[in-house]
Every structure is written in C-alpha cells, then in structure tokens.
Amino acid sequence: MKHCLTIAGSDSCGGAGIQADLKAFSAHGTYGMSVITAVTAQNTQGVFDVQDINPSVIAHQIEAIFDDIEVDAIKIGMVSRPQTIEIIAQALKKYSLPPLVIDPVMISKSGYDLLQPEAKKALIEILLPMATLITPNLPEAEVIVGYTIDDLDGMKRAAIDLHKLGCQYVLVKGGHLADDATDVLYDGNEFYIFEGKRFETINTHGTGCTISSAIAANLAKGLHVRDAVGMAKAYIEKAIKHGFSIGHGVGPVHHFYELYKKAGVSDE
C-alpha cells in the first residue's frame, strides 16, 4: 500500500482540509498521514477562527513521518503564514521528495482569508517551485498572476505564467467559469484540456482539497500526471454529484460514494 502525506489545516466539520485529504487518500486505496499546519473553527456556514501551529511543531511532524515511514506522495494545502511556509520548505529539503502536489489555498468558500497577505510572496518564491503540480482555482490563479481570468484562453495564459514560477506542471481549475467546469493542465510545452460537468448543488465544500489529494494518491500509485489528473477529475465529479447536506450551509462532497453504494448505504 502506498503512503500519502497531507500538510494542511484541520477543518472541524470534516469537509475540507486534512480531513478531506485523508478521506480522498483512503478512497484511492492509499494510506493517509498528516502534518497539521493550523486548526480552524468552521462549519458548513463559514470559518470563524484559526489557530496556526507553532513552526517548530510543524517541522517535528514532518521529521517524525519521514524519519520512520516511506512517503510516496505529498499534498500541501493551507499554509497561512510566511513562517509556516519557510519551515515546511526547510524540513522537506532534508529529504528526497516524492511527487508533491500544492493546492494554493487562499480563501474559504465563505470568504475567510486562509492565506495572510504577507505569505503570498513566500508561497510563490519558496514553495511553488518545489511542486510537481500546483492546482489553483481561478480566484487563486488570479491572485498569483495579477489579472482576471474569464475564459479558456485566459486559463492557458495563466498556466504559462504560473509554470514560469518553477513548478513542473500547472492545473488551472475552471470550476468558477460561468458556463462549464473545464480544467487546463500545462507541462511547459503542451496543454491538456479536461472538460467537466457542472451540477446544480451547493454541496461543494472541500472540492479543491479533495481533487488535489486524489491526484497525489494517483501519483503515489505511479500514474503519469496527465492520467492522475484525469482520474481525479472523474472522481471529484462523482463526489460533487453526490454531495450531501450535514448542516445549514455548504455541505461536503461525497468522498466515499462508491464504497457506500457497495455497502448499501444511501447518499441521501
């Protein structure tokens, strides 16, 4: 069994962050491990508070994993402070790294800033160049490149500019487009277009965390980046289609739909 590590924040309602990552890892038949960067107080209606973990504790979590367990892929999510970003990079550079997927988490669906303004520079200059693949959605890509993206040509332009930051691959996710949910993968030479379905649902909490973790799990199992993205895209579409309500706001996607289906458990 392959081992996948998530370095991200904790979501107290279980729909995003490390909880979503671990569920996605498990759904793909891999063993999930976690390094917690922050603890959030949130539910389906929003994020209400954040407590960042001490940088030394983050480093010790990373060291504890790598000094004992083989890591076959890494996913990095919420890293809200420059100190967090710097310590993660320092700790990871001590080891021979497996495929690394970075989801540049910046703003929650409820509008809460999950990346401090002063951390943007550190994210771009320190962490993104280490990535095998980065997976920004359109608002995140716009923050990084500094211009509006509103169509496929804009996504391709952004992918080129993002690739110049030093990562190997860029996946610009188009879920925020008005008409479709097309994603663009760029390897520095070619574009690969992944067309997607749009579902009429509000239950999309954890979508970005989940697809990036699904990609990481697929990479851990030896898939090429293009295939890893394609399979993760199919997985997240099914998870979104069967997302469900657990509170009074935005519910989670269904990480285990296929497993629940086999077990005879309704997703209603």
Q: Which of 89, 156, 172, 180 is nearest to 128 (CA)?
A: 89
The pLDDT of residue 108: 63
The pLDDT of residue 178: 63
Domain ranges of the chain: 3-129+203-262
Tens of pLDDT, residue by residue over 211-222, are 999 999 999 999
Q: Is 167 in contact with 131 (CB distance < 8 Å)?
A: yes
- Phi, psi at 76, each rounded to 5°: -115, 130
Please tell us whether the domain made up of 3-129+203-262 is placed in CATH 3.30.565.10: no
The pLDDT of residue 268: 56
Q: Residue 32 and residue 18: Cα distance in Å, rounded?
A: 10
Tens of pLDDT, residue by residue over 87-98, are 999 999 999 999
Distance of CA 110 to the CA centre of its chain: 17
**pLDDT band at residue 200 using 50, 70 and 90 as cut-offs:** confident
Q: Is 10 in contact with 40 (CB distance < 8 Å)?
A: yes
Helix (H) or strand (E) holding 36: strand 31-43
Q: What is the DSSP letter of 126?
A: I
Helix (H) or strand (E) holding 32: strand 31-43
Tens of pLDDT, residue by residue over 94-126, are 999 999 999 998 776 656 666 777 888 999 999
Is pLDDT at 237 greater than 70 in this prediction?
yes
Residue 246: C-alpha distances to residues 43, 44, 141, 264 (Å): 9, 8, 30, 19
Q: Residue 98 and residue 228: Cα distance in Å, rounded?
A: 15
Q: What is the pTM of this model?
A: 0.95
Q: Which residues are catalytic?
A: 173, 204, 206-209
Q: Is 249 in contact with 44 (CB distance < 8 Å)?
A: yes
The pLDDT of residue 116: 76
Is pLDDT at 135 greater than 80 in this prediction?
yes
The pLDDT of residue 124: 92
